Amino acid sequence: MSDFKPGLEGVVAIQTEIAEPDREGGALRYRGVDIEELVGHVPYEKVWGLLVDESLDSAMPDPEPYEPKSLTGNAPSDLQAETARLSSEWDLKKLVDTEDEEARDDLARLSAQMMSIVAKSAAVADGRGPAPDDVVAQGDTAAEKFLLRWRGEADPRHVKAIDTYWICTAEHGLNASTFTARITASTGADCGAAMSAAVGALSGPLHGGAPARVLPMLDEVARTDDPQGYVKQVLESKGRIMGFGHRVYRAEDPRSRILKRTAKELGSPRFEVAEALEGSALAALRERKPDYVIATNVEFYSAVVLDVAEIPPELTPAMFACARVAGWAAHILEEKRTGRLIRPSARYVGPAARSLSAV
Ligand code: ACO
């Protein structure tokens, strides 16, 4: 118990064959393939196949017809609630009671349906119903169908922004939401329970909720035209600059590099402001912490790329969840195969034994 690590930093809790974030070299590989080779060459749904089935001949299917029971328009919470509900609606079997193939098919159905739930919730937030199935069927890729379902139309720039973002953020080792999915799977729960638990973990600002806080920062810098002053004020008030720092990477985050390039290629109107803020933030963080590398993380340019696709900031955690269904599904299957309950220990540091009357 002497090697307690707050936040489990550096603790190796699982072995995985799914993805390899290359901490020092700044590369990310899915099943050994660098994401630089995937972006722009295969659509997201095939990356799902690569991650889950280790095959590009396999892909995430289209969602089957299903009507969510109660959408509020708050996509992250709609997604968590409706995904949990699918466990009973579809009578999903517990992982301990299924074969791998059946669990894999449950995860494929769930992944596709989760994207559809987010698109429908986004339509509710916009005050309209989702597009009919014949309109959605005109799309070629999952990203295009997602936009058609939500908006009834799909601008090719928006499709490219979303497909690139989804591929870059499809999987990333043992992050908080994936760990949550694996812990839930390790108890033998069903796939809907594991996926919805992961959605909850992703929603926090220190994980998938960060892009929602990046755009307001960019707005503020655009208003004042003073990125240095903004950074100084955040750091002096002991705040965190959203979109910077990472528990794993001690080099440039490769996803950030690709998303930055994409934001520029797609002509993001926020690109210049983002680059100015990035420069000021990196310089100030380097000066403040010369021995601790704090680089731009995936969330900073994610926010800029998603803005190109006119994704409202409050929807960004749900967009992240759409991407991460691939990684979660792959990890839930990998966890199922280990068959070992995840149950670490806690060191008790509370009061010594005492009588009830002493409390
Ligand atoms: N802005 C300002 N200071 C920072 C930042 C930041 N973005 N990130 C780290 N620091 C500072 C901390 O204040 C701390 O300083 P202190 O020692 O003086 O208190 C020091 O660096 C170490 O901070 P930790 O939280 O221990 O660093 P860790 O590497 O564990 O943190 C984390 C990673 C949580 C992502 C952090 O960098 C952060 O909060 N970033 C902002 C939120 C964000 O962008 N989240 C998205 C992460 S990517 C993802 O989840 C997909």
Q: What is the tens place of the pLDDT at every residue in 62-78?
A: 999 999 999 999 999 99
Q: What's 270's DSSP letter?
A: T
Instruction: For residue 17, give every residue at least 6 positions away whose Cβ sits within 8 Å of its Cβ, in sequence order, or none.
Output: 31, 334
User: Is 89 labeled as catalytic in the residue annotation?
Assistant: no
Instruction: Give distance in angstroms: CA of 244 to centre of ligand 1.
Output: 7
Of the listed 246, 278, 331, 335, which one is catalytic? Answer: 246
Q: Whose CA is nearest to atom 50 of ligand 1?
A: 207
Tokens of 259: 């998303």
Residue pLDDT, tens place only, 294-320: 999 898 999 999 999 999 989 999 999
Contact 196, 352 (CB under 8 A): no
Residue 2 pLDDT grade (very low, low, confident, very high; cuts 50, 70, 90): low
- 272: number of Cβ within 10 Å: 11
Alpha-helical regions (H) of 39-186: 44-53, 75-89, 100-125, 133-136, 142-151, 156-168, 176-186
Beta bridge partners of 19: 30
Instruction: Give distance in angstroms: CA of 216 to centre of ligand 1.
Output: 18
User: Is 299 labeled as catalytic in the residue annotation?
Assistant: yes
Rounded Cα–Cα distance for residues 163 and 144 (Å): 8
Q: What's 265's DSSP letter?
A: H
Residue pLDDT, tens place only, 121-161: 999 999 999 999 999 999 999 999 999 999 999 999 999 99
Contact 216, 313 (CB under 8 A): yes
Q: How far is CA 29 from the centre of its chain?
A: 16
pTM of the model as a whole: 0.92
- Which residue type is seen at 284? A
Contact 277, 230 (CB under 8 A): yes
Q: What's 30's DSSP letter?
A: E
